[in-house]
Amino acid sequence: MEIMTVTIDEQKSGDLVVTEFGGGSIRVHHTVHPESVTTPIPGTSYKDLKKLGAGTHDISVKRTIGPADAITGATTVGT
């Protein structure tokens, strides 16, 4: 398990823009659509991210080594 910091911005379209911080000045932006079954953030669904709401959150994720679609569980550990 590792802690990942993400920032969620809600768009008028219903999409969520999730920014993943990779250390230093590295930031990766993901657009998550309401109909998305999986997201680039391990173990999270659109519903999970929407529930967290806009802002910066620390979440606990378990990364896996394998196919890109290998998703595991995640829980919120703080905001």
- Is residue 77 within a helix (H) or strand (E), and if so which, with residue range? strand 74-78
For the cut 60, the answer to whether the pLDDT of residue 62 exceeds it is yes
**Average pLDDT across the chain, whole number:** 82
Using 50, 70 and 90 to split pLDDT, how confident is the model at 69?
A: very low
pTM: 0.74
**Which has more pLDDT, 46 or 74?**
46
Using 50, 70 and 90 to split pLDDT, how confident is the model at 72?
A: very low
Residues 14, 31 contacting (CB under 8 angstroms): no
